[in-house]
Structures are given as structure tokens and as C-alpha cells.
Structure 1
């Protein structure tokens, strides 16, 4: 490869990474804050993962429909995105900037089809077997326990495992610690997703016509509390293995976990009827405080 070609590829890749960063800044201030706490060797890779996941999620959550694509055209758009992702991971290049950035991360961290395919399976579940009817007139799609678990594995647990592969790509650990970290990463991803299901009850049921948390038409407060207990157990399992992570990943993971614990606290104090009307949020000042405490806690852990 000539010097000129190498320079062109590097420039293109850096441009792709800037595009991935723009996706994060546009869609998630919380995730962006946590990423800033990562060591520099991890930061861009995690941003690249988030960007691909977010673009795919938007594709199935209404952007293509609002652009006027028919259901069949939406399915074709998702299939094209999936095929291009697989091609880019194999070749190390895509003309799609977001996919190109992800491919660099996947190749560096050995993120393979065992994680990529389940994610896209969940995206296909979101499209479902729709009709051309408007969402308002379509029946509510209900996820029973098995469908919920399968969806959460693909949409969230494997994303946590992708990030874990980034964090551990240069580390040598024994099989026991590796298994514990994988379990913790999966549990953290599941907790994040279940919290977002509760936060997004209004949008999921009214705009998207999906009920991820059960087969009933309307959750009750006892259902909310059961999910809160499940989420707290998932977060506890994830927090237990944070000390096994590399030092330059711990503060960021602690910060993200603390934010979702704060969201869980607020959800616990919010009735189901309120959740069906509005989205629970944590103020920016509180987020900043949680991040600062995560940094301080990690510093103290490392300097005992």
C-alpha cells in the first residue's frame, strides 16, 4: 500500500469517527458524558459502537416510516444496512461513514457475528410483521417473557458485551474473571434496556405500538415495582464486577450505572399512569454530580 493510499484511508477513518461522535452528541448527552470518562484507548471505539446501534435503532423506530418508506422498503433498508455492516467488518471498509467506523472497532476488538447477528435480530423484531396501516390503527404488539428476553439479549446485552470486548482487548485474565465480566456486562445492558422500556412507555405504546414489558394492554403499579426490583438486581450484579475492569474503564461504567440507578429511583416514585404520559429524566446537574462521584470512587479504589 502506498503512503498516499494509507494517508487517504486514515483521513477517511477519522472523518467516519467524527461522524460517529456527532451521532452521540445529537442523541445522548448521558452516554456522551460517560464516554468522556473512558481512557483514550477505549473512547472512540465505544462511540463507534453506539453510533451504529443508534442509527439502526432509528431506522426501525420511525425515521424510515416518516420518510415515506413502505413497510417493505423499511425491511429492505434494514437488510441493506445489515449486509453492509457484515461486508465492512469482513473487508475493513464501507462508504457508509457510521458503518466504516464500527467496522474498525469490530476488527480491533474481535467483535464478531456472535454479537452482531443477535443485535440485528432484535432490530428485525422491532419491524415485526407490520402492515401498511398507520401505527395509530395497528394493534399493539405485545412481547411475552420469552420475546422480551430474546429482544433484550440482542438489543442490549450484546451491546454491553461489545463494549466489554473493547475494554478487554489488550488484557489477559483467567476464565473465571472473563465469565464474571461477561455476566456483568450482560446484566448491565439488560438493566439499561429495561429502564428505558419504563421511561419510554408513552412513546413505545402510542407511537410505535409496542409493549415490551408484558402482554397486557396497560401495566399496573405492581408491574412497575416488579420491574424495579428486577432492574436493581441487574445493576447490583453489574456493579459487583466493575473492579475486574481495566482501570481506565471503571469510572465511565460506574457513572453510567449510577445514572441508571438514579433513573430507577425516580421511576420507583412515579406512578404507571405518569409514565404513560411523560418520560422520566435526571437533571444535567445531577448527572454531573454522579459522574464526579464515580471518578472519585474509582480514584479511591485505585489508591487504597
Structure 2
């Protein structure tokens, strides 16, 4: 069977996204094996776009001597453009665009993600409202996009979709807070980022752990509504 040039590029772009995931996260790459082939390809496409944006702000851009803010702005513009276009010359964004269009990603989710990435370029101590916005854009919207991937082509009642979205946000918030605690020292020393006060008091640690447990508990009901294979992968 012959394939068009565009179909050839689609396949190349999918391989590029898979390569990004495999290079950066072997454990997450293995976890995607629990998904069906279509969900796995879409998760790879989402991960690869997010990872490239992370790399722009986490040191690669500065090491290369580029204007990090301008580079991130250009990447956001290209990511939003490919959500409305059938082609991007960037294989990772091309793959992301196919997934975004097929799964119905909202542009607001992508804009919120880049807003949080932009906050990492020139970090400053976060107020409570800043923290909430950052977690939403850096983690919760990723959960929303994952749900959109998992229910693509599945008949879902509106109230069930809302429940899954709410759970995805709480699970994303929990994982992000866990990451903040795990990387507290490195974030402050290497990147100058302080998502929590440093040094962190025992009282503050206990409060954050309670928040994480509450997020995880709140996430359970909606996650139980996911289709079987994604539900097993998330669990």
C-alpha cells in the first residue's frame, strides 16, 4: 500500500515523539505499554511537546545562548498554530497537533501550560494565588489533556466527563506537589525556584502531605470512570 508524503511525515513525527519519551523517561515509557496503541501514541505526542518546553526553560535554552523567553514564546505560538493546522515542520509539534485536534484539546489548556513555563524563566517567591495558577498550568491541564486522550471516541455523559476532569486536576496537583517536595533543594540551588518556603518547617511539610493525601483521595472517584486500559495505566 502506498502512502502520501503527509502520511509518511505523520509516521516520522510519531517516531520522533516516541524517541523523546524514551530518551527522557524510561519508566514512563514502560508505563505507556499498558495503554492501547492509539492512546500510547497520543500520550507520547503530548509528553514530547511538554518535554521540549521544559527543556527550553530548564537550562538548554540558556546553555545554547538563545533568548529563552523569546524561544518559549515562539514555541507556544507554533504549538497553538498546529492545533488549527494539518502540518508543522517540527516533527514533535506536528505529532502534538494531530493529537490535539483528534482529542479536542482546548487552547486555554495549552496557554495555561505555557504561562506556567514562563513563570520559571524568572522565578520569584510565590504567593498562594500564584502557586495555584502555576500548579494548574504545569500539572492540572496535563491531566485534562490526558483525559481527553483516554476518552477519545468513547461515549461519555457530561457529568462523567466533568468528574474525570476534576479528578485529573486533583491527581495532577498531587503529583506536582510531590515533585516539589522531592526536588526542593535542587530547584532552589540550581534553578533558583522556590515553590515552597525554604527551609521547610516540619509543620509546613505535614500540611503539604495532608494536601497531597486529600488530592489523591479526591481523584479516585473520577479516575474509576476512565476506560479500563487507561484506568489500569493511571493506577
TM-score bucket (shorter structure): over 0.9
| Maintained 8 Å contact 2:144/2:165 | yes
Counterparts of 1:30-179 in structure 2, within 5 Å, are: 30-69=27-66, 73-128=67-122, 141-179=124-162
Question: What residue in structure 2 maps to residue 227 of structure 1?
Answer: 208
SS, match of residue 183 in structure 1 = helix
The CA distance in 1 between the partners of 2:172 and 2:86, in whole Å, is: 27
The CA distance in 1 between the partners of 2:80 and 2:156, in whole Å, is: 29
Q: How far 1:126 moved relative to its partner?
A: 1.1
- Structure number, greater radius of gyration: 1
Q: How far 1:202 moved relative to its partner?
A: 1.7
The CA distance in 2 between the partners of 1:37 and 1:184, in whole Å, is: 20
Give the alignment partner of residue 224 of structure 2, picking from 221, 226, 243: 243
- Give 5+ residue unaligned stretches, structure 1: 129-139, 255-304
Segments of 4+ in structure 1 off by > 3 A? none
SS, match of residue 153 in structure 2 = coil
SS, match of residue 68 in structure 1 = coil
Alignment length (residue pairs) = 235
RMSD: 1.6
Q: How far 1:173 moved relative to its partner?
A: 2.1
- TM superposition score normalised by structure 1: 0.74
Question: What residue in structure 2 maps to residue 196 of structure 1?
Answer: 179
The CA distance in 2 between the partners of 1:91 and 1:187, in whole Å, is: 31
| Maintained 8 Å contact 2:86/2:97 | yes
CA displacement, residues 118-168 of structure 1 (integer Å, 9 cap, x when unaligned): 11111111113xxxxxxxxxxx72112111110000011001000101111
Q: How far 1:52 moved relative to its partner?
A: 0.5
| Maintained 8 Å contact 2:14/2:95 | yes
CA displacement, residues 43-76 of structure 1 (integer Å, 9 cap, x when unaligned): 110111011011101111111112223xxx1111
| Maintained 8 Å contact 2:165/2:222 | no
Give the alignment partner of residue 211 of structure 1, picking from 178, 182, 194: 194
Question: What residue in structure 1 maps to residue 15 of structure 2?
Answer: 18
The CA distance in 1 between the partners of 2:52 and 2:229, in whole Å, is: 27
| Maintained 8 Å contact 2:46/2:96 | yes
